Each structure stands twice: as structure tokens, then as C-alpha cells.
A = this chain, B = another copy of it.
């Protein structure tokens, strides 16, 4: 038993140590953060992971205010709408610069613009979805990724039965040609909607072809080399965390987000959504 333990353990270990050098470790629900890289702040500093997450929440709240015809908000109002304290909100925003007016508040459109710039949403991102199962197709049909800026340029799968099928504007490509498809479409982000069994292998190919931003829905722990950002969305984890809180009687609820995620879309209609 010791032999088995040692062998399996060291195989894993080999993989992981390679992947972890120079990387921050982000656990479910926590955010992420790189250990290097420049910053999108007025200067060049890296924003703390918790701040980056919240900026996406503020951005959505601002979009919502804008849709309501509101063009000025106080830190108090925006904080309430975002589910954070106004102290936190002001501290976060002050890391980007001084975009408010004392005694007045923030101009919604202006602040929205600055947040977009800080988050890197002014350029276009080309997303390839690997895996055209139920989830992959649902994601592909989902037009409004955030507040635009994310274009789904490819949808891949290995199943001969579905290769060539049209999903929304896309045709399912053969994942055997993953490299060619990524290069042709100049995809610079990948979404993995795959079973655990093949996720690491596909992830490796995606990394090899030069993609440095990966969002995985695969129910497994993936390893990526330094310089590649990997985020995970994981329903089982979320349910387990809910179970923990439900179990302990009336644990304090929470408002806000997960995900590290885990949280906050933007203002579009959801992938598989249907009024209910």
C-alpha cells in the first residue's frame, strides 16, 4: 500500500510542482492573482484579486443604473447596489484613480468607462469553446458575454455525430484540428466544457497553442504552467459550500458572488435562461 501511495503521489507531485512555480494558488471561491505582470491602475500596480472581482460587480451595477437612466451615483448608493460597504467601494475605486467628485459622487458613464479600461474590456477577446455537449452548446448560444467584448469564434468537439452542426452562428469544428482552429480564428481565450477525463489533455493543447487565459467548467483540478491564467467554475463545489452552510442551521446568508467566483455577469440574458 505504501508502494502504491508513493507512486501515485509522486506522479501527481511532478505535474503540480511544474505548474505551481511562480503561480498564485486560488481556491474555489477565492479570487486569483498573478505574482507578476504590470497593473492596469493609473500607475502600473497589480490590483489585489479581491478588488478585481469587485470591479466586475461595480461594473454590472453601473450598467444597471445606466439602464435606469441614472447618471450619477454616490459611493453609498453604488455600494448598496453592489453589496459591499461604501468604505470598501471607495477604497477600491481610489486604486484606479480619482474619478469621483467630492460632495457630488460619481458620473455613471464616466466611471463605467474607467472600470472597463481597468479590466481590459476595451479590446476584443476571441473565445473558443472546447466541448459542444449540453453545457458547451448552452454557452455558445449565449450571445451577450458580459457587456460585449467577448466573441465566441469557435466551438469544438470530437464527436463525429455533431461535428459540422450549426449552433447559433457557429459550426462545430473537429477538436482533432484544435491547433489549426485556434490559429485560424486567432482565439485568445478558451472555455473548457469537457468531462474530467479529457480536460487536462485538452488544456495542455490549448496552452501549447499559445492561449494564456482559460476558463474551465471541467470537474477536475487542472494544472497550467506559469503565465497562464486559469479560472474554474464549478457547480459541485458551489453546492458543497451551500451544503456546509445549510447544514449548520441558519448560517449567515450571503449576498454578492462566488467566484471568485465566482460572480456577477453583466447585464445580458443568461446562456440557458428561459423565463420561469
Contacts and interface: CB of A to CB of B under 8 A. Distances in A.
Contact of A256 (B27, B84, B220): B27
A77 interface: yes
Contacts of A208: none
A247 to B, nearest CB: 3
Interface in A98-121: 105, 118-121
Interface in A55-73: 55-57, 59-61, 64-65, 68-73
25 contacts: A8-B68, A8-B70, A9-B81, A25-B256, A32-B256, A37-B245, A46-B248, A55-B244, A120-B243, A120-B248, A133-B270, A134-B142, A138-B138, A149-B243, A193-B274, A196-B269, A196-B270, A212-B250, A213-B245, A221-B257, A223-B255, A232-B263, A233-B262, A258-B260, A260-B261
A34 B213 contact: no
In the complex this chain forms, how many copies of it are found?
A: 2
A156 interface: yes
Nearest to A125: B243
Interface residues of A, number: 169
Nearest to A162: B274
Interface in A212-232: 212-215, 217-232
A259 B219 CA distance: 13
Contact of A267 (B28, B77, B220): B220
A209 to B, nearest CB: 14
Given A77-B13, A257-B26, A8 B276 contact: no
Given A28-B263, A159-B274, A263-B261, A253 B34 contact: yes
Nearest to A71: B1
Contact of A270 (B142, B156, B162, B219): B219
A248 to B, nearest CB: 5
Contacts of A36: 250-252
Given A24-B254, A246-B213, A135 B238 contact: no
B265 A235 contact: yes
A33 interface: yes
